[in-house]
């Protein structure tokens, strides 16, 4: 189904990903209605229309579907039942089936294993002491993760022993969890793919990702890995999208082990933080690609015209007031993106900047210099 410019698109979710999607859609001539429970959401502030309601509010969903030609999601924790209801009236991508798999770690792990994708050794924790003692010591040291609603390191605990595992289970309110063995990593990478309704598929360059406290800190693109390994990661990500019969933009995160083996960490049925570089470094951004897929338009060119390094800006930087952005803005190869969030909190993603360069090393050196300057001298006071 072709959705032409001028028509209204719907978006479930009002965070920064939604804000960037909304701007990409508007640049192509579309209007956007955002549905989000937060009255001052970043996407809602720039949308053509805003519905402040819960994602399961039937009246709000009816209003959204009535006025929109196609609907997409900003993040994976939208109720699958809501997507099914919307799909009865208009085009919805990604579909409820794909989202329901990706929003639950257990469903996600089972899907990957059943389809012969390599993953980290794991076990489902049912929170009984007997099972913890008998079955899971071979996964220690490991990472305990709640099976749903965890992100940016939230809902996760590193555990080194049975005692720490039991304490972590209690600390996470004895929710159903997944325990993953810690592996010897060379690096972490991600691949973002876009797949259209007719099965057409294209991937973005591979991103090398560095995390601090479970939150993405820096993405380096293209990743500093061999061309063979990069192609292997792209091929696996494409197969994941095909096995899901996915329509939309999808991110597949990988662990690269010290021996070069690739293991899938998780999948995200949406644009991804590690793909923000595409706004400034690619001919087509991941957000424009999301618009193209849901509207039945041709997939865009994902080639890079520059190497890039993306750095997240967290709320910690606002400790002494509004940061002074002058050093960032005076850099000729750097682009600053702030998300319009009204409250800065520690570890909250408030924006990012992307440094472009002829090589990744040049871009990385400049990005680190800018980041250090912000942290040391970044406040107006």
Q: What is the pLDDT of residue 380?
A: 62
- Tens of pLDDT, residue by residue over 39-75, are 999 999 999 999 999 999 999 999 999 999 999 999 9
Same-domain status, 14 and 155 = no
Exposed/middle/buried for 298, CB within 10 Å: 0-12, 13-18, 19+?
A: exposed
Same-domain status, 261 and 340 = yes
Domain of residue 299: give its range: 185-377
Which residue's entry shows tokens 């390191």?
A: 153
170: pLDDT confidence band, cut at 50, 70 and 90?
A: confident
Q: What is the pLDDT of residue 134?
A: 43
DSSP state of 44: T
Same-domain status, 212 and 312 = yes
Q: Is the pLDDT of residue 151 over 80?
A: no
Give percent of the chain with pLDDT exceeding 90: 85
166: pLDDT confidence band, cut at 50, 70 and 90?
A: confident
Name the more confident of 1 and 116: 116
Q: What is the pLDDT of residue 152?
A: 57
- Tens of pLDDT, residue by residue over 283-312, are 999 999 999 999 999 999 999 999 999 999
* Least confident span in 174-178, 254-258, 263-267: 174-178
- CATH classification of the domain holding 156: 3.30.1490.20
Helix (H, G, I), strand (E, B) or coil at 231: helix
Across the chain, mean pLDDT equals 93
Q: What is the pLDDT of residue 174?
A: 75
Same-domain status, 126 and 220 = no
* Least confident span in 187-191, 253-257, 315-319: 315-319
Same-domain status, 235 and 172 = no
* Bond before 222 cis per omega within 30 degrees: yes
Name the nearest CA neighbour of 129 among 177, 157, 162, 160. Answer: 162
Instruction: State how far the alpha carbon of 145 is from the alpha carbons of 103, 295, 368, 370, 375, in Å.
Output: 13, 36, 30, 33, 30
- CATH classification of the domain holding 373: 3.30.470.20
- How far apart are the C-alpha atoms of 216 and 220, rounded to whole Å? 11
Same-domain status, 161 and 189 = no
- How far apart are the C-alpha atoms of 138 and 53, rounded to whole Å? 45
- CATH classification of the domain holding 13: 3.40.50.20
Instruction: State how far the alpha carbon of 302 is from the alpha carbons of 8, 103, 107, 109, 324, in Å.
Output: 25, 27, 30, 29, 33
Arithmetic mean of pLDDT, 251-268:
97
Q: Is the pLDDT of residue 109 over 70?
A: yes
Same-domain status, 200 and 323 = yes
Q: Is the pLDDT of residue 127 over 90?
A: no
Arithmetic mean of pLDDT, 125-143:
70
- Tens of pLDDT, residue by residue over 87-104, are 999 999 999 999 999 999
Arithmetic mean of pLDDT, 272-280:
98
Asked if residue 102 is part of any domain, the answer here is no
DSSP state of 318: G
Q: Is the pLDDT of residue 135 over 70?
A: no
Same-domain status, 342 and 216 = yes
User: To 10 degrees, the CA torsion angle through 60, 62, 64, 68?
Assistant: 180
Find the DSSP H helices in 79-175: 80-87, 96-102, 105-114, 129-135, 162-171
Arithmetic mean of pLDDT, 107-135:
81
How many structural domains are present in the chain? Answer: 3
Same-domain status, 172 and 135 = yes
CB 76 within 8 A of CB 268: yes
Q: What is the pLDDT of residue 130?
A: 47
Buried-exposed string 104-116: b where 16+ CB fall within 10 A, e elsewhere: bbeebbebbeeee
Q: What is the pLDDT of residue 261?
A: 97
């Amino acid at each position: 189904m072709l959705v032409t410019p001028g028509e209204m698109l719907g978006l479930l979710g009002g965070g920064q990903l939604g804000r960037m999607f909304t701007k990409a859609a508007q640049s192509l001539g579309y209007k956007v209605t955002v549905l989000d429970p937060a009255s001052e959401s970043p996407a809602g502030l720039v949308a053509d229309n805003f519905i402040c309601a819960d994602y399961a509010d039937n009246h709000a969903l009816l209003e959204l579907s009535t006025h929109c030609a196609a609907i997409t999601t900003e993040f994976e924790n939208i109720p699958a039942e809501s997507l099914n209801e919307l799909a009865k009236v208009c085009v919805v991508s990604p579909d409820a089936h794909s989202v329901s798999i990706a929003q639950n770690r257990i469903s996600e792990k089972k899907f990957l294993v059943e389809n012969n994708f390599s993953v980290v050794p794991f076990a489902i924790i049912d929170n009984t002491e007997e099972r913890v003692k008998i079955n899971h010591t071979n996964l220690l040291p490991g990472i305990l993760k709640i099976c749903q609603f965890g992100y940016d390191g939230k809902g996760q605990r590193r555990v080194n022993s049975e005692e720490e595992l039991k304490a972590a289970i209690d600390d996470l309110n004895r929710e159903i969890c997944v325990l993953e063995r810690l592996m010897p990593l060379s690096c972490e990478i991600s691949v973002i793919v876009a797949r259209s309704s007719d099965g057409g598929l294209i991937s973005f360059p591979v991103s090398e990702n560095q995390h601090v406290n479970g939150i993405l800190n820096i993405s380096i693109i293209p990743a500093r890995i061999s061309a063979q390994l990069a192609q292997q990661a792209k091929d696996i990500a494409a197969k994941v999208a095909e096995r899901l019969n996915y329509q939309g933009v999808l991110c597949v995160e990988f662990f690269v082990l010290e021996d070069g083996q690739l293991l899938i960490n998780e999948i995200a049925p949406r644009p991804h933080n590690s793909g923000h570089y595409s706004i400034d470094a690619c001919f087509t951004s991941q957000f424009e690609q999301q618009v193209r897929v849901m509207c039945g338009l041709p997939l865009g060119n994902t080639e890079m015209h520059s190497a890039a390094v993306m750095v997240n800006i967290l709320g910690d930087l606002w400790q002494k007031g509004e940061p002074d952005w002058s050093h960032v803005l005076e850099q000729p190869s750097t682009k600053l993106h702030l998300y319009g969030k009204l409250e800065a909190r520690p570890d909250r993603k408030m924006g990012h900047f992307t440094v472009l360069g002829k090589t990744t090393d040049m871009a990385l050196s400049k990005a680190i210099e800018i980041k250090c300057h912000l942290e040391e001298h970044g406040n107006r006071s």
